[in-house]
Structure 1
């Protein structure tokens, strides 16, 4: 792990720093994360964990703003730890950023379904890693349009309804207005707010408002969950 250059340090830190919990079984990588995040004036590392069970205990005790989670860890893997901390029915609904050596593969897909807000690769430059934590801390998902397209392109068959029968997930979408339904379909294609704005001839701020309403109405934490729900409901572009 490369120590971040001084240029990564920003001066516009909020009054309360982002509390980061690092869950990684490799001590060298874990130390690298501590070095990177501790160098940021708007972040503080509140704890470390070397396995999934310890990650759950630490997250429940320390209540971090963001959990940086590895996938392959002993005792309990990062996917199960994520499901416990951020999945349906979890008490804290923690914000999880998965950082893994694996690219868009089954492990990453399952982590996102388990409740992760996004993922990065371990060879991500330190600056992008820091911004990733900030993004997740704000409540946004960390999936670029290109990654979303690749992810859904690879695993669409697993999240689409098995039959053309009316899927139960579609019932949840009845609370959306026609325009919100349209925005959801574009989100499922991996479009950014700016791209959706161009597609629908709207302002980016208006699209941002629509996205916020969709997430609130459907009780979804972020765009990742919106994409999965759209495909499971059979209403995503290209899924039906």
Structure 2
């Protein structure tokens, strides 16, 4: 049987049913159009609905229930809450937050309990693979989109001192070693020593992994007055 013959009777709705279905929520038209073009360049992904704001009805009637939502960091909190309510009956809808600044987008994604985050300058292949993995329940695909995966790579049962927790919280807030030292009244070399000790305890190799651990474990963003040095 030829390919053309095998496609006889295969409707557009059949293609939608077979593909992973995406909802786009982004106030920036150019970003939304770009995401649609990138996603629908692959046969296994289809955008079933899109809207500029979480309070608006998606453009057109969704052709099928979405498997994943790709949302704007600027409206992530409101969008995530709206999606939780709308999809509560079917167990919720996994989300991916898209933003410009990595530290800010990572924090927003954590606060919105998103499955992953992506930056505006992500490669097209990274966008598609992240959407596939999240839609299938696997979380983020790369370092920049995998804050949940990064947090799981760290040891969950470590015991950090109060000062180490404080330093980790400030790392999660995007501060540099010098800024952390100024905030805590410590020499930059001392901050580096704390970070080295934490990396060893957490079994992480870089700041992104440590920052993700801090976000997902609620590390404080200010030093206790009686910090244990």
TM-score bucket of the superposed structures, by smaller chain: 0.5 to 0.7
- Kept in 2, the 8 Å contact 1:136–1:142? The answer is yes
- Kept in 2, the 8 Å contact 1:119–1:142? The answer is yes
SS at match of 2:81: helix
Aligned residue among 131, 134, 141 for 2:129: 131
| Equivalence for 1:121 | 119
Deviations 1:26-84 (A, max 9, x none): 21221111111111110111011001212789999953101010122xxxx22221133
- Kept in 1, the 8 Å contact 2:49–2:62? The answer is no
> How far has the Cα of 1:22 moved from its partner?
1.0
Structure 1 Cα separation of the partners of residues 59 and 117 of structure 2: 22
TM-score under structure 1 length normalisation: 0.51
- Kept in 2, the 8 Å contact 1:56–1:81? The answer is no
The question of 1:46 aligning with 2:48 is answered: yes
TM-score under structure 2 length normalisation: 0.53
Q: Which runs of 5+ in 2 are unaligned?
A: 1-14, 152-167, 175-199, 206-211, 221-227
| 1:163-182 correspondence runs (5 A) | none
Structure 1 Cα separation of the partners of residues 97 and 32 of structure 2: 13
> How far has the Cα of 1:104 moved from its partner?
1.5
RMSD: 4.5
SS at match of 2:42: coil
- Kept in 2, the 8 Å contact 1:20–1:47? The answer is yes
Structure 1 Cα separation of the partners of residues 81 and 22 of structure 2: 18
The alpha-carbon distance between structure 1 residues 65 and 99, as it changes in their structure 2 partners (threshold 3 A), is same
Structure 1 Cα separation of the partners of residues 16 and 65 of structure 2: 18
- Kept in 2, the 8 Å contact 1:66–1:137? The answer is yes
| Equivalence for 2:93 | 94
Q: Which runs of 5+ in 1 are unaligned?
A: 1-12, 157-185, 192-223, 235-239
SS at match of 2:18: coil
The count of aligned residue pairs is: 155
Larger Cα Rg: Structure 1 or Structure 2? 2
SS at match of 1:120: strand
Moved over 3 A (4+): 55-62, 89-92, 143-153, 188-191
The alpha-carbon distance between structure 1 residues 39 and 190, as it changes in their structure 2 partners (threshold 3 A), is farther
